[in-house]
Structure 1
Amino acid sequence: MELARDQKTSIPKKKKRSERQKDMLSGYLYIAPFFIIFAIIGLYPALFSIYLAFQKWSGFGPMEFAGLNNFAIVLQDPLFWKSLYNTLIMGVLGTAPQLIVGIVLAYFLNMAAVKFSNFFRVTIFMPYITSMVAVALVFGVFFSSNESSLANFIIGWFGMDPVNWKTSEWGAKIAISLMVFWRWVGYNTIIYLAGLQSIPKDLYEAATIDGANKIQQFFHVTIPLLKPFIVLTVFMSTVGAMQLFAEPTVFLGGQAFNRDEAMTVVMYLYRDAFNLNSFGTASATAVLLLIFIVAIAGLNTWLTSGKKAKRGRI
């Protein structure tokens, strides 16, 4: 009798285990395509690039171990530091204004008094989904080197001489930064708008009762509660600025890789890999860029955690 009972109780346990294993197997099968594709087109190229950073290879023939020689070549190249300088300058000029303007636009779009708010939201977000070729064509006409171009016509109002935007040092940087600003300000605006809509209206009503005006509510209620969204957009914009490639390449056209005025770090490694067939130095540049991005991300995390720690002590 006892053996029969043990057999009966063991059968349901086995069934439960088998059903649980089937559920786990089906779940893994559903998510397997993503990880397989990510491993093929994401993880493997990244690991292979790190391996190439220590090799001397032209894309053909056997590889030769170069140790840290590729990193020494890149770090001793003045063009690399020039490209890093250009990347940082265009990143600041294109990123900082779009974050500030994005918060202001989101604040006005969130106001109930604004009519046709849905139309303005779509209009502001439209540049983000616009083709880069179309954007380059528009900005190429706008920042044409002709004296009659729209950009030169506008600066002529202030008594300034016409600028050759694609060849001058700061002209190319300003034009590309404005292109980045115009293309991404709507993306950040939508993120800030979602953050504003998550703030309870009771807080604004309480601030109004306490005598706070709109400006005081903006700086003492809106901005502190938007902090997680601001940190997110600053992080994403900073990483995107360090990987700037499409805008200067399309704007400058065939002269992009022969010009030092607007060459970025990604353009520098692209030139080494596909123009000079030096995949070792290109991979070393990619590793250095990864280190810079991780350092910036760590700095953002440290600043955020530091502020939280101070709040906790108070």
Structure 2
Amino acid sequence: MTHPVPTTERQTAVRRSPLRRLAYSQTAAPWLFVLPFILSFALFFAYPVLSAVNMSFQEVLPGQVRYIGLENYRGLWNPTFRKALMNSTEYTVFTLLVLIPLPLVLAVFLNSKLMVLRNFFRSTLFIPALTSVVVAGTVFRLAFGELEGSLMNTFVTALGFEPQKWLRHEGLAMFTLVVLATWRWMGINILYFLAGLQNIPRELYESAEIDGATAWDRFIRITLPLLKPITIYVLTISIYGGYAMFTESYMLWAGNRSPNDIGLTIVGYLYRNGLEQNNLGLGSAVGIALLVITFTVTMIQLKLTGMFRRED
């Protein structure tokens, strides 16, 4: 004689509660888990972008909104915008040349067992990332000041050079921005590369060392290939960070008006038109142009680095 299997309390609750039945559904449960991301993406990214696209075809002035077609985009390609685009591109390229190889090399040293005081140097290099960019920009503005007693002029005069007007000369101003970016973001990129290095099996290095590979051979043939995903990720976020830079420039020149616009960026140009001049239509067009530029550059970079290549 067989007896019916008693149902557990949990099974009964699932049958009785539609919400619980939905949560235990193999079809609906994944959507419930990703729903917070979908809502936040729609609310904080998709909606603002669509609103900016719509606004870029409008003349938005205080108390006046009207559609003007492509006029904002026609007026976008002007000498000031080209200057901002050139500054942002130069800044992005120079930061990539510094903030990819240098953190990678430092991460390799910090990951080595032979490195003395590894934890101390890891903490020290990461501290600038915790510093407010407003504070950092103010300190750098004082350090790169025009007075002979400023930190950098004291250093260059000690080397026998003349004091420099760091924030009034185009080349020196870009150098200052890159130094600030290097100081601020070095620790972040080192952290990314350290995470990648610690995921590489030590057995690979030991086997290569037994086979007679030098430290350089191990770095070229093991470290770099296995760090490719991390390198591409750091490269991608660095491109975005370079084109989106604004606060550093704003704080270095104590405003959005640098001499001859040598510190003007695309975001600074957006801020100037959208907020300072209350022309939200043109500001939106600048923002959409920035979105297209960063998206295009990122897609080209991902294509060249092989991220879209189909693995066998």
Match of 1:166 in 2: 167
User: 1:112 & 1:306 partners in 2: Cα distance?
Assistant: 32
Please tell me the residue identity of whatever aligns with 2:59: K
Identity percentage over the alignment?
32
Deviations 1:123-163, CA, capped at 9 Å, x for gaps? 11111111112212321221111122221233335543221
Please tell me the residue identity of whatever aligns with 1:15: R
User: 1:292 & 1:254 partners in 2: Cα distance?
Assistant: 25
User: 1:92 & 1:251 partners in 2: Cα distance?
Assistant: 20
Q: How far apart are 1:256 and its partner, in Å?
A: 3.3
What secondary structure is seen at the aligned counterpart in 2 of 1:305? coil
Match of 1:7 in 2: none
Q: Is residue 82 of structure 2 the alignment partner of residue 53 of structure 1?
A: no
Listed as ranges, the gaps of 5+ residues in structure 1 are: 1-10
Match of 2:75 in 1: 73
Q: How far apart are 1:216 and its partner, in Å?
A: 1.4
User: 2:231 & 2:36 partners in 1: Cα distance?
Assistant: 33
User: 1:169 & 1:304 partners in 2: Cα distance?
Assistant: 32
Please tell me the residue identity of whatever aligns with 2:75: I
Match of 2:91 in 1: 90
Please tell me the residue identity of whatever aligns with 2:172: G
Q: TM-score, normalised by structure 1?
A: 0.86
User: 2:81 & 2:157 partners in 1: Cα distance?
Assistant: 35
- The 5 A counterparts of 1:30-45 are 35-45=38-48
Q: How far apart are 1:65 and its partner, in Å?
A: 1.2
Deviations 1:254-284, CA, capped at 9 Å, x for gaps? 3536751010000001100111111111111
Please tell me the residue identity of whatever aligns with 1:61: G
- Please say if residues 106 and 192 of structure 1, whose CA atoms lie closer than 8 Å, have aligned partners that are also in contact: yes
* Structure 1 pair 126–81 and aligned structure 2 pair: CA distance change class (3 A): same
Task: Give the aligned CA root-mean-square deviation in angstroms.
Answer: 2.6
What secondary structure is seen at the aligned counterpart in 1 of 2:83? helix
What secondary structure is seen at the aligned counterpart in 1 of 2:264? coil
Q: Is residue 265 of structure 2 the alignment partner of residue 269 of structure 1?
A: no
Match of 2:289 in 1: 288
* Structure 1 pair 80–274 and aligned structure 2 pair: CA distance change class (3 A): same
Listed as ranges, the gaps of 5+ residues in structure 2 are: 1-10
User: 1:258 & 1:273 partners in 2: Cα distance?
Assistant: 21
Deviations 1:139-191, CA, capped at 9 Å, x for gaps? 12211111222212333355432211122211211111110111001100000
Deviates more, 1:86-95 or 1:32-41: 32-41
- Please say if residues 257 and 271 of structure 1, whose CA atoms lie closer than 8 Å, have aligned partners that are also in contact: no
User: 1:255 & 1:68 partners in 2: Cα distance?
Assistant: 27
User: 2:251 & 2:52 partners in 1: Cα distance?
Assistant: 25
User: 2:135 & 2:276 partners in 1: Cα distance?
Assistant: 26
User: 1:197 & 1:294 partners in 2: Cα distance?
Assistant: 31
- Please say if residues 249 and 256 of structure 2, whose CA atoms lie closer than 8 Å, have aligned partners that are also in contact: no
* Structure 1 pair 27–206 and aligned structure 2 pair: CA distance change class (3 A): closer
Q: TM-score, normalised by structure 2?
A: 0.87
Match of 1:141 in 2: 142
How many equivalent pairs are there? 298
Deviates more, 1:26-35 or 1:95-104: 26-35
Q: Is residue 303 of structure 2 the alignment partner of residue 302 of structure 1?
A: yes
* Structure 1 pair 255–298 and aligned structure 2 pair: CA distance change class (3 A): closer
Q: How far apart are 1:22 and its partner, in Å?
A: 4.8
Deviates more, 1:153-162 or 1:247-256: 153-162
Q: How far apart are 1:304 and its partner, in Å?
A: 2.6
* Structure 1 pair 258–152 and aligned structure 2 pair: CA distance change class (3 A): closer
* Structure 1 pair 163–52 and aligned structure 2 pair: CA distance change class (3 A): same
- The 5 A counterparts of 1:152-191 are 152-191=153-192
User: 1:212 & 1:301 partners in 2: Cα distance?
Assistant: 31
Q: How far apart are 1:217 and its partner, in Å?
A: 1.0
Structure with the larger helix share = 1
* Structure 1 pair 132–108 and aligned structure 2 pair: CA distance change class (3 A): same
Q: How far apart are 1:292 and its partner, in Å?
A: 0.6
